[in-house]
Amino acid sequence: MQQFKRQFLAAAVATVAAVAFSGSAFAQVKERTLKFAMQNSAGSAQYDAAIKFADIVKAKSGGKIKVNVFGGGALGKDTAVVSAMQGGTIDLCVMNSSLLAGVVKEMALYDFPFVFANEQEAYTVVDGAFGKKLHAMLESKGLVGLSYWELGFRHFHNSKRPIAKLEDLQGLKIRVIETPIYVDFMRAMGANPVPLPYPELYGALEQGAVDGGTQPVINMTSAKLYEVQKYFSLTGHMYNPQSVIYSKKIWDGFSAEEKKLLQDAADEARDYQRKISRERNAAGIAELKAKGMQINELPAADRAKIKEKAQPVVDKYTKQIGEPLVNELYAAVDKARAAAASPATPAKKK
């Protein structure tokens, strides 16, 4: 009997200690409900990663912080969301990094065509010193860059004809993201650019207001764009990182513990988002073919023609942004490329 009492007492003490530790572990974490805005809807890598982010935050905060995800542009288009975040009425969002060029002009660099050769190269650059430098520029504008997720490599899709060569773009009405550089890029290709928020794309294609656009494979499947498009041409002309950003007005009121919690959650969700993005892009080609889309890959010589045609646009925005920073981007890419090409250093024998 005495032994049972001792065991019971020990268990009770352990329980009290655990509760006390749990309380102290989240002492600097307040009860909060956060609004996470985006243009993408359920089924996209961004939306699904935002749900993952919410789960991670809930676990790390001991259930104190709840994240409500608003997809499909429910809280407004990207420019409106940015303004709301600067005012402190929306907590965080994820959007194409280049859309922030209206706030910090240097972010337009992420719309430069043919910068990255593959995803890993892009990850190395945006997760490294260069990417952090650009995100740091947002703070003076009332925003905090937490991490980079991805949209991925863009390809052309349309309802008129396959894009097998540069000339096939002539006269097509192509939806573009709402950035000046992408509008100029599309004009240089001979197409007619139509800036539209992403949630409006499906309807515009269905009604014939635009002939096509540019999307990664995953968006073609998750948004069911194959229902209103016939041709998908693998051009890979642009890689878009996406920025997860926070309202600085709200962020500055957080404890150090809360900031670390949210930063760690954004990074963990980033790794998940990139993983499912790559997987779904890889599997999506077969799905698009099964849905009846005609898919062609642009020959290297014709990709080179598009790159050459785009060079005046790159030159124009290099002057606007500043040549030193543009050179810094390309130097970071070269460094990442060289590191990937170098064989691993063999371990030294002991």
Mean pLDDT, the chain, as a whole number?
91
Average pLDDT, integer, range 164-192: 96
At 19 the pLDDT is 36
Task: Look at residue 347 and tell me whether its pLDDT is greater than 90.
Answer: no
Q: Which residue did the predictor score with more confidence, 255 or 7?
A: 255
Average pLDDT, integer, range 15-25: 41
- Confirm if 350 and 135 have CB atoms less than 8 A apart: no
Residue 28's pLDDT band, with cuts at 50, 70 and 90, is confident
At 342 the pLDDT is 79
- For the chain, what percent of residues have pLDDT higher than 90? 88
Q: Each residue of 60-106: pLDDT tens digit?
A: 999 999 999 999 999 999 999 999 999 999 999 999 999 999 999 99
Q: Each residue of 288-315: pLDDT tens digit?
A: 999 999 999 999 999 999 999 999 999 9
At 3 the pLDDT is 52
Q: Which residue did the predictor score with more confidence, 11 or 44?
A: 44
Average pLDDT, integer, range 166-191: 96
- Confirm if 125 and 329 have CB atoms less than 8 A apart: yes
At 62 the pLDDT is 96
CA separation for the pair 276, 247 (Å, rounded): 27
Angle between helices 323-341 and 300-321 (to 10 degrees): 140
- For the chain, what percent of residues have pLDDT higher than 70? 90
At 21 the pLDDT is 39
Task: Look at residue 9 and tell me whether its pLDDT is greater than 60.
Answer: no
